[in-house]
């Protein structure tokens, strides 16, 4: 992730009412890195918490996954929707419907190319890699696409 993406993801985490467990975990990681008490970190304003979190280099897979999810839901819904529309996958504002089925492998490259023409390359690559990381079986076709290559 770029520094700006990391900051936006951290802000999204601290602003997500459904991420309380991950916020506590993030406060613990920040406290450990800064040699603060977790309670001290929890008492900081969200802006400082977000800035401190962007400098943490080692987070758990669970926390990393939550950061990626809240970032995309808070910041990238139009891109997510455009990608899913190009694939013909039913969704609700970028969230795949439970009964939507799997993507057609023949359409994946075209859908990736479509969003690459409208969105910054680093945002496209991060989104495609997030899908691949979350579900390599479903999204394995993204792995070798030029749009998914991180700069």
Give the domain ranges of the chain.
3-60, 76-148
Does residue 151 have a pLDDT over 70?
no
Residue 4 has pLDDT above 90, yes or no: yes
What's residue 94's pLDDT? Answer: 87
| Token digits of residue 19 | 């991420």
**DSSP strands (E only) in 51-149:** 91-92, 95-96
Q: How many helices (H) and strands (E) does the chain have?
A: 9, 2
pLDDT at position 58 is 86
Q: In angstroms, rounded to a whole number, what is the distance separating the alpha carbons of residues 101 and 65?
A: 22
Q: Residue 119: CB partners within 8 Å, gap ≥ 6?
A: 79, 82
Two tokens, residue 10: 């951290």
The stretch 88-94 carries a mean pLDDT of 90
Residue whose pair of structure tokens reads 């439970």 in the numeric block: 98
Return the bridge partners of 91, or none.
96
pLDDT at 48: 95
What is the distance between the alpha carbons of residues 151 and 148, in angstroms, rounded to a whole number? 9
């Amino acid at each position: 992730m770029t520094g700006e993406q990391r900051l936006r993801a951290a802000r999204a985490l601290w602003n997500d009412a459904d991420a309380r467990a991950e916020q506590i975990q993030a406060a613990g990681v920040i406290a450990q890195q800064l040699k603060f008490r977790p309670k001290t970190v929890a008492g900081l304003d969200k802006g400082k918490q977000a800035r401190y979190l962007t400098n943490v280099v080692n987070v758990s897979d669970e926390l990393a996954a939550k950061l990626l999810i809240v970032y995309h839901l808070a910041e990238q819904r139009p891109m997510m929707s455009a990608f899913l529309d190009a694939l013909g996958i039913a969704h609700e504002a970028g969230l795949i419907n439970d009964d939507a089925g799997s993507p057609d492998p023949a359409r994946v490259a075209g859908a990736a190319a479509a969003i690459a023409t409208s969105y910054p390359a680093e945002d496209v690559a991060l989104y495609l890699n997030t899908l691949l990381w979350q579900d390599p079986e479903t999204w394995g076709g993204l792995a070798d696409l030029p749009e998914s290559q991180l700069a």
